[in-house]
Amino acid sequence: MAGFSEGELRALAGVRSFERGLGYLDAVSGVEVGDGAVTAVVYGTDVYEVELTLGEGTGVLGWCGCPYGQEGNFCKHCVAVGLTVLRHAQEIPRQRAAAKARASGLEAWLTALSRDELLALVREQVAGDRELHRRLELRAAASRCDLGTVRERVLALIDPRPFARYGYVEYADAAGYARQVAEAADALRALTAAGQATQAAGLAEEAIGALGKVYGEIDDSDGMVGQAAHAVVDAHLHACRGARPDPQRLAAWLVDHVLGDGSDVTDLDPLDYADVLGPAGLARMRQLAEKARRRSPRGWAEQCLMERLVKAEGDVDALVALYAKDLLPSGATHLHIAEELDAAGREDEALAWAERGLRDCAQEAHVDGRLVDYVCARYMRANRMTEVVSLRRDRLRAERSLAAYQQLRTAAGAAGCWGSEREAALTILREDARQGRSGRYGGSVLMDALLDDQDVDAAWREASGGAGDRQWQQLADLSREARPADALTVYLRLVEQLKEPTGDRVYEHMARLLLGARDCHRALDTLNDFTAYLAVLRADLKRRRKLMTILDRHGL
């Protein structure tokens, strides 16, 4: 009757959020069932509004004002509201029908009102709703071109101080401030619609500047303020298209804004103004961008602006020249150049630039892996497999990583020479392990390579010389059937290490280790020993109720 099930809630939320939602059932209040949605309030760390959309045959979608929900997740608060709805599922059709009837009745009543009655109703609502009064007052000022009032109100809406209780707009207050900024954008559009596009453009620039100055003092984790600020930019562009301002002056303002400290909030793209700027304005913007880059050749904003302008002109040689002025030591810039030349159909030049990148970066500790991949892909297309293997061999010597080992294995396997290459590669990694060098995630890269090859016997021989706990567990996982006694020793040692730490992740890890230990005992025909061991372990840790729950769920 509700249009969804408890199983669907569990699938949407995941096990952890679903279980946490069970603890919030008593925190749900104010449930309202509409024609296609249910809204409610859930009291948690803060007070959160929740909305569940109930589609016909499409299941349930959830939205919540909590941080986790704002990231697009079906959170514990959504679970709590969903379960509350399911408890009263028989009442849903009646409540839906009642909501639809109320909406239909309201529409019919409004339609039947005379002009005077509607005006009286609006005045009544304005008198009792300060925010509505302010919005309509601003719309009225814009419609009668009262520029002084509009400017005063727009800048007041942009001012975050009423929301900054401690000199900073906190996360909980950002949504309210964003609504005010969006209201300012609406007023600017209304001013343009009233025939005051020039004034609207000037005021929008003032508002955009003010937003840039205050944005650093706002917790805009959900991006709502940025979204509203972009609406102000859209209002500015709309006004400029109506006002047709001086292209030279507009170009200067756009460059100043994009290169200024406050550009992050608006995400303004100067090329959106191309139709307003025209050839003269675009040329002026290019001049100003070049001047700014000369002043700050390493500036990220200056580089991005120049790239955007040069790309828009479609001059590949100019773009290559721009990139070539600042070649990164990792080879990433060489790769950008190669990709641009490829897109222009100049493949030979593209490969030459990529090969130059490998030469230029040969002595660097880090080379962009994408550059190596690019050259290898081109060589493979040309059946230059010996050179592919050589490149991958050089990268392994430089990087000493599992990824480099895997790439060498793939290339050498395709070239039919993996046997000899493997021995040479393992010799390099074995020397690293002897010197105590670890991989990115702990333990030697040699162990990672042997485990990735599933060379279990060799991995056991090398494990004592540099395996980390992660690698020991992986080795045990690979050895349950062939070497159950050895694997069991590893599992039990790792379980002992997890007796002190707490938390769901630790408990899930312990459960996985115990399952592995049980498999080893089964292979050794000693399941009674495992049963006795598990009983002692559970008795020792019985106060950890969540651990007991997780062990029960895994059948332990």
Token pair, residue 536, equals 């002692």
Across all residues in the chain, what is the average pLDDT?
89
pLDDT for residue 364 = 78
Top-ranked range on mean pLDDT: pick from 84-98, 186-200, 257-271: 186-200
Q: Taking residues 382-397, report their average pLDDT.
A: 92
Q: What pLDDT does 149 receive?
A: 85
Question: Reduced to 3 DSSP states, what percent helix, strand and coil does the chain have, rounded to the nearest 5?
Answer: 70, 5, 20
How confident is the model over 105-127, as a mean pLDDT?
89
* Confidence check: pLDDT of 384 > 50: yes
pLDDT at residue 140, rounded to an integer:
79
pLDDT at 145 over 60: yes
pLDDT tens per residue, range 517-541: 999 999 999 999 999 999 999 999 9
Mean pLDDT calculated for residue range 126-135: 79
257, part of any domain? no
Cβ atoms 318, 280 nearer than 8 A? no
Residue 512 has pLDDT above 90, yes or no: yes
State how far the alpha carbon of 553 is from the alpha carbons of 16, 511, 515, 530, in Å: 13, 9, 12, 18
pLDDT average, residue stretch 48-67: 80
Task: Evaluate if residue 334 carries a pLDDT over 90.
Answer: yes
Half-sphere exposure of 196 (CA within 13 A, CB side): 21
> How many folded domains does the chain comprise?
4
Average the pLDDT over 115-129 and give the result: 87
Are 105 and 172 within one domain?
Answer: no
In a domain, 297, yes or no: no
Which of residues 245, 260, 294 is at a domain's end?
245
- Segment 330-337 shows an average pLDDT of 93
pLDDT tens sequence across 224-238: 888 899 999 999 999
Last residue of a domain, one of 463, 498, 519: 463
Q: What are phi and psi of 38, to 5 degrees?
A: -125, 130
Q: Which residues are CB-contacts of 266 (< 8 A; sequence separation ≥ 6)?
A: 208, 211, 212, 226, 229, 230, 232, 233, 257
The β-bridge partners of 61 are 53
The answer as to whether 410 is a domain residue is: yes
The burial of 481, by beta-carbon neighbours within 10 Å (0-12 exposed, 13-18 middle, 19 or more buried), is given as exposed
Structure tokens at 361: 């970066």
11-34: average pLDDT: 88
Q: Any idea what DSSP says for residue 317?
A: H
pLDDT of 251 reads 95
**Cα–Cα distance, 379 to 386 (Å, whole number):** 9
Question: What's the confidence (pLDDT) of residue 57?
Answer: 58
In this structure, the answer to whether residues 487 and 452 fall within a common structural domain is no
- Distances 319 to 307, 341, 388 between C-alpha atoms, Å: 7, 10, 29
Least confident among 7-16, 137-146, 269-278, 398-407: 137-146
Assigned domain for 166 exists: yes
Q: Of 112, 136, 160, which residue constitutes the final position of a domain?
A: 112
d(CA 425, CA 442): 19
CA distance 251 to 230: 19
Same domain, 81 and 123: no
Q: Could you tell me if 442 and 532 lie in one domain?
A: no
Average pLDDT over residues 187-204: 92
Percentage of the residues of the chain whose pLDDT score is greater than 90: 50
Q: Is residue 77 part of a domain?
A: yes
d(CA 521, CA 525): 6
Enclosing domain of residue 422: 384-463
Question: Tell me: the pLDDT tens digits for 430-489?
Answer: 988 888 887 777 889 999 999 999 999 999 999 987 788 999 999 999 999 999 999 999
**In-domain check, residue 454:** yes
Phi then psi dihedrals of residue 111, to 5 deg: -65, -35
27-39: b or e for each residue (b if 16 or more CB lie within 10 Å)?
A: bbeebebbeebbe
Residue 1 clears pLDDT 50, i.e. is over it: no
DSSP state at residue 2? -
Q: Does one domain contain both 520 and 554?
A: yes
State how far the Cα of 211 lies from the Cα of 232, in Å rounded to an integer: 10
pLDDT at 412: 94
Cα–Cα distance for residue pair 147/199, rounded to 1 Å:
8
Please check whether residue 517 is in contact with residue 477, taking contact to mean a CB–CB distance below 8 angstroms: no
Judgement on whether residues 143 and 202 belong to the same structural domain of the protein: yes
